[in-house]
Amino acid sequence: AQSVTQLGSHVSVSEGALVLLRCNYSSSVPPYLFWYVQYPNQGLQLLLKYTTGATLVKGINGFEAEFKKSETSFHLTKPSAHMSDAAEYFCAVSLTSTGNQFYFGTGTSLTVIP
């Protein structure tokens, strides 16, 4: 079964520092991968997605992620953290066999220290 694993349930960074949130996928075929952000008491907002093509994907709010097949990874990065980045981040996979099934990793809570 396809799944995603997020390493680190809590990450703290200083304001202005690099943000790195880790996601590894388990699949025998390239999956379709997504990063979502969730602010308290809100729904999920798409940050970026990888389907095919360029492996470096740029998203909203200065985030980007690189699909690395050799490492089965899709880590999320941002060069400089802002206080407003504090939120819960979820990596998600869409199954290719049937489509339209989104399964989420366990999430990473990002804290930004002023």
Partner 1 sequence: DTEVTQTPKHLVMGMTNKKSLKCEQHMGHRAMYWYKQKAKKPPELMFVYSYEKLSINESVPSRFSPECPNSSLLNLHLHALQPEDSALYLCASSQKGARTEAFFGQGTRLTVV
Give the residues lining the site for partner 1 (CB under 8 A): 32, 34, 36, 41-46, 49, 51-52, 90, 94-96, 98-107, 109
Q: How would you label 9-33 residue by residue, b for 16+ Cβ within 10 Å and e otherwise?
A: eebebeeeeebebbbbbebeeebbb
Cβ-based nearer residue to partner 1, 52 or 70: 52
We find the least distance from the C-beta atom of residue 6 to partner 1, in angstroms, to be 9
Cβ-based nearer residue to partner 1, 80 or 96: 96
